[in-house]
Amino acid sequence: MPGPRRVDHVTCSVCRVTTRTSVQPGVRVRGRRWATNKIDGPMFLRLLKYALNRDHAEPRWFNTPAAPQDRYDVVIVGAGGHGLAAAYYLAQRHGIRRVAVFDKGYLGGGNTGRNTTIVRSNYLTPEGVKFYDRSVRLFEGLAEELDTNLFYSNRGHFTLAHTEATLRTARWRAEVNRHYGIESTLVGPEAVKDACPWIDLECGGKHPIMGALYHAPGSIVRHDAVAWGYARGASRLGVEIFQNTPVTGIEVKAGRVTGVQTAAGLIRTERVLSAVAGSTPTLLKMVGLDSPVDIVPLQACVTEPMKPWLDTIIVSGSLHVYVSQTARGELVMGAAVDPAELHSTRSSLEFVTGLADQILDLFPFLAKVRINRQWAGMADMTPDFAPVMGKTAVKGFYLDAGWGTWGFKATPVCGETMAHTLAHDENHPLISAFGMERFERMHMLGEKGAAAVGH
């Protein structure tokens, strides 16, 4: 017998539409169990009706004018997370709304859409720790600020140590983190086993796990939603976004930026922000600066979906792997960067076979799980694994680069600090150590121990 009818009103967190639901558990339609609602019929019919109903049309997330204006206060090159976040904060915090964002491809189609979506702040240098901590805090309130469901999922993050040396670095990171009020602790192998019972602590007997750096705030976030959320937020405040519109040159006169040459014509502006990851050397060349970053592909892949079994993020620097499970059940996995410079997003069989080899040491039961997709992004690597940010030798040309394999987690704080830097023509205090002149002075930041592989 069907149970009593319950009538509820449910508001969708994304589209803000309220629907009536009246679910009678156990109603069968032609012998099959449908999710059925007595008022409006089975769910698939309701979805179809909803999709075709003009009253509930989802408004466009952002608008692109037919042509750009001939002058903007700020031009941002690159419509990825970093560029769009900077546009949003420029408009929202600093009232600078005559801003145009240009991208040669589609929104969030570069490294924003290619990373493995992990957010954490367990870095090694004080500069890095303070910077990424601010980013995690911004991320935590971002869904509300942007009124967008970012699928922010707090998982906890284990960086495994298989050697005494890694254990020492883990200890060092835990101490630096705790000094700055960040929840990171050194834990033993049993804590890893507790959080992830499927792991082989012996790693096939070859490199047993001796302990781990546990970082409680470690999370995964839907990366496309971050880019789209910032795009919508910026667009509502008057920012104009132009996709498929490459920037082909930057006009510099007497050491100052005067304009940007785009596929849609010459745009006058005195401030340009470069947020283009793998194309950074190309933009630097346009303004006549040498590049401190090199371009190296970073590859990643996902498995076929499976039932949830992994609710933490597992990273092993020694095995060169990191893995988490998405809401869809796929394992997202990545490894170290490719062995040499390459300006291409091709992916390789060597990557996926090498990664599978290492993952099976950690989780032997995955041997029969298939890889569904693999892809690559062009990472802009720096010698010290810290970013290159702020003002440059060319007045009005601002750089947000050197984000290598660690940039997604910094999206909000990069937007915030670069917006401040552009608005005041003065580096934000949080990025003062990240200027490119540090290589001339040999003031490296030494973030490799915490940035490499561990995402």
Partner 1 sequence: MKIFDCPVLGPRPASEFLCAGSAIPGMQNDDLAGARHAVYFGDATAKVKREWWFHRASQLWFIVSRDTATDAVLDIGPAAGSGDPHVA
Kindly tell me which of 256 and 343 has the beta carbon lying closer to partner 1: 343
Chain residues 356-395 in contact with partner 1, contact rule CB under 8 A: 383
> Least distance to partner 1 from the beta carbon of 440, Å?
6
- 246 belongs to the binding site for partner 1 (CB under 8 A): no
Chain residues 105-124 in contact with partner 1, contact rule CB under 8 A: none
> Least distance to partner 1 from the beta carbon of 337, Å?
11
Q: Look up residue 12 and give its amino acid.
A: C
The Cα angle at residue 53 between residues 51 and 56, in degrees rounded to 5: 85
- 285 belongs to the binding site for partner 1 (CB under 8 A): yes
> Least distance to partner 1 from the beta carbon of 281, Å?
4
Cα 106 to Cα 447: distance, rounded to the nearest angstrom: 31
Cα 397 to Cα 394: distance, rounded to the nearest angstrom: 6
> Does residue 20 contact residue 9 with C-beta atoms inside 8 Å?
yes
Look-up of token digits 């698939």: 44
Kindly tell me which of 241 and 247 has the beta carbon lying closer to partner 1: 247
Structure token pair of residue 234: 């910026």
Cα 383 to Cα 118: distance, rounded to the nearest angstrom: 22
Piece in contact with partner 1 (CB under 8 A), picked from 107-115, 306-314, 359-367, 437-445 = 437-445
> Least distance to partner 1 from the beta carbon of 131, Å?
21
> Least distance to partner 1 from the beta carbon of 446, Å?
15
Beta strands in 346-407 (DSSP E): 371-381, 388-391, 397-401
Structure token pair of residue 40: 């409006």
- 257 belongs to the binding site for partner 1 (CB under 8 A): no
> Does residue 387 contact residue 308 with C-beta atoms inside 8 Å?
no
* Chain Cα centroid distance, residue 405: 10
> Least distance to partner 1 from the beta carbon of 276, Å?
12
Kindly tell me which of 330 and 447 has the beta carbon lying closer to partner 1: 447
Choose, by CB under 8 A, the member of 57, 66, 367, 442 that binds partner 1: 442
Cα 379 to Cα 329: distance, rounded to the nearest angstrom: 27
> Least distance to partner 1 from the beta carbon of 390, Å?
16
Q: Look up residue 11 and give its amino acid.
A: T
Choose, by CB under 8 A, the member of 291, 318, 345, 432 that binds partner 1: 291
Task: Give, in order, the Cα–Cα distances in Å from 98 to each of 103, 208, 244, 249, 347.
Answer: 17, 56, 20, 20, 39
> Does residue 95 contact residue 237 with C-beta atoms inside 8 Å?
no
Piece in contact with partner 1 (CB under 8 A), picked from 30-38, 42-50, 174-182, 435-443 = 435-443
Kindly tell me which of 6 and 346 has the beta carbon lying closer to partner 1: 346
Draw the binding track, 314-353, toward partner 1 (x: CB under 8 A; -: no contact): -------------------------xxxxxx-x--xx---
Residues engaged in binding partner 1 (CB under 8 A):
280-282, 284-285, 290-295, 339-344, 346, 349-350, 383, 439-440, 442
